[in-house]
Amino acid sequence: MSVFRPTRRDILSMAAAMPALTLPAFAPSIARANLGAPATPNPSHFSFTLGQAKLTVVSDGHLATPTNGLGVNADPAEVQAFLKAHFLSTTTNYSHTNHLLIELGDAKVLVDVGSGDRFLDTAGRLMGNLESAGIDASTITHVVITHAHPDHIWGVRDDFDEAIIPDAQYFIGGTEHTHWMQDDLLASAPPEAQQFIVGAQNSINVDGAEWQLMSNDGEIAPGIRVIDTPGHTPGHMAVVIESDGQQLMAVGDAMNHAWMNFAHPDWVNGFDMDGDQTAATRRRLLDMAVADDIAVLGYHFPFPGVGNVMKDGEAYRFVPALWKW
């Protein structure tokens, strides 16, 4: 399956041009509210509990990428119609970046480290937002990387190319590590993929991080484990928390669109490295969530990205969790 893999320059240039783009054929036929950002920032963290676990979703900011990277194996007109019907932009995919901090027992586990200042300038807010949430990053005991794409791992390094949380234990999938660290991967890759490979390798090679390589059902700490969720990348992993009989899955990018991935789980995105495997993994996770009543956290879902999955005919539906104060 051919996939759309824009370079960072492509992303930046297309994002910059986005206000000028129009798609008259899909112009909304009805008026809709255009909700803008407030003058002062919205809250950047959200805390809740799952059994004995204290969970906090902390934002790294947002990404704005072209919508032609969505549903690349579907009819573009159908994708555009879907976006329009769900009151979403037909030109810009505005997605959030939701990091999970898990406090359970003696463990304080951070899932992914964001992009730092090395990717898009709308992201890279994680460290500052952790501080705003009253969380001292130096007290984090474990860092788990779902996969080595820029917005999930490039923030692992500080300005001195050292691990940004030096005292934590670092975890990544063994298959993911093997894929990105292949000796000949860079030389054999097309030019548009090379900067992502270099970024992943530089991040994995960061000074001060001794990587523990994980496999399916590997335990990070009591009540916290990883499961294989390949497709988006070869060794992508999700994180599962279980406490007092309740479960939540932080699915990373195995599901990355809170409407499309549920209504059309077989539609894949340009950054899904193996489209068929991505779709199969996504259906497996959706079925798990429905059958076992497992809550989900989507990294790119609307903040805070937490909810449940319900069956909807042959498809599914994401039901956002109710905030509690």
The rounded distance, in Å, linking the Cα atoms of 134 and 144 is 21
**Average pLDDT along the chain:** 91
Question: How far apart, in Å, are the Cα atoms of 13 and each of 65, 88, 261, 270?
Answer: 10, 21, 26, 17
Please say if the pLDDT value at position 13 is more than 70: no
Structure tokens at 241: 């928390």
**Tens of pLDDT, residues 194-220:** 999 999 999 999 999 999 999 999 999
Instruction: Give the per-residue pLDDT at 23.
Output: 34
**Tens of pLDDT, residues 251-294:** 999 999 999 999 999 999 999 999 999 999 999 999 999 999 99
Instruction: Give the per-residue pLDDT at 32.
Output: 65
Are 113 and 145 a contacting pair, CB within 8 Å? yes
Please say if the pLDDT value at position 57 is more than 90: yes
The counts of H helices and E strands in the chain are 9, 14
Please say if the pLDDT value at position 172 is more than 70: yes
Strands 306-312 and 107-111: unpaired
User: Which DSSP string do the residues of 46-80 spell out, in sequence order?
Assistant: EEEEETTEEEEEEEEEEEEEEGGGSSTTS-HHHHH
Residue type, 169: Q
